[in-house]
Amino acid sequence: MNDPDQASDSNKTHAGTSVGSAIKYLLPTLREQLWPALTSVLLLTLLAGGIFPLVLFVLARPLFPSQSGGSLLTREGVTVGSELIGQDFTDPGYFHPRPSAAGAGYDGTSSGGTNLGPANPKLKDGTTDDPKTTDVDESFAGIRQLTEEYRKHNGLAPDAAVPIDAVTRSGSGLDPHISPANAALQLPRVSRARGLSAEVIRSLVIRHTRGRQLGFLGEPRVAVLPLNLELDRTAPLPNPASAQSSSRSESR
């Protein structure tokens, strides 16, 4: 008759031997698998996170000094914004940008859209401010209200067609461009406020109209801030203080 204690000790010995054999087998395998994975992560981090950005920086500064610096625009030596970020203009002597949902409007630190679907009634009809929450302005101008205001500001008929970019907010809220159709409807208002002929302003609009990227991507668009700056150089508004206050610089 076998001794139970001896059988138990024998089983433990075999189990210990099996575990030890498994560890001896697995360690080389783990080293073979982990070493390439770890070295790949380190090398890719160094390449994509260090060397590649450094090479781009070294090449971009001399080859594309304006773009690598943020495409900044100046007026009388003072930086007034970037060609890539929209600003709000309200004076009738300026071309107005499309609406914005970024913060209080064109806030580079709060980029974003409305996140409202096309079937959402708030997008079409807007909402009014809740008088119970005095510390928060919850009003939201819907497409209907923006359309009415656009027609009024530009002297259009009550049933005049309005470009979609004039009454909708972009996904980023920072779109620096408007459509040529939008600019064409604003042109008479700017002409009256500036005392310039429509032909002169139209030539400036054409000069600041960007074509399709690579000739086939996107649609033609008008760069609003560069256009308004050239308007100031060509025919300054009668009240410079008004012109300054009508634009909110994105460098706040």
Angle subtended at Cα 25 by Cα 23 and Cα 27, rounded to the nearest 5 degrees: 65
Mean pLDDT of the chain: 85
Total-model pTM: 0.74
pLDDT reported for residue 158: 95
pLDDT reported for residue 242: 47
* Crossing angle (nearest 10°) for helices 224-234 and 198-207: 140
Residue 212 exposure: Cα atoms within 13 Å on the Cβ side: 6
Render pLDDT for 177-226 as a digit per residue (tens, 0 to 9).
999 999 999 999 999 999 999 999 999 999 999 999 888 899 999 999 99
Q: Is the pLDDT of residue 124 over 70?
A: yes
Q: Which two tokens stand for residue 219?
A: 């649609």
C-beta atoms surrounding 180 within 10 Å: 16
pLDDT reported for residue 143: 94
Render pLDDT for 61-118 as a digit per residue (tens, 0 to 9).
888 888 888 889 988 889 999 999 999 999 999 999 999 999 888 988 889 989 899 8
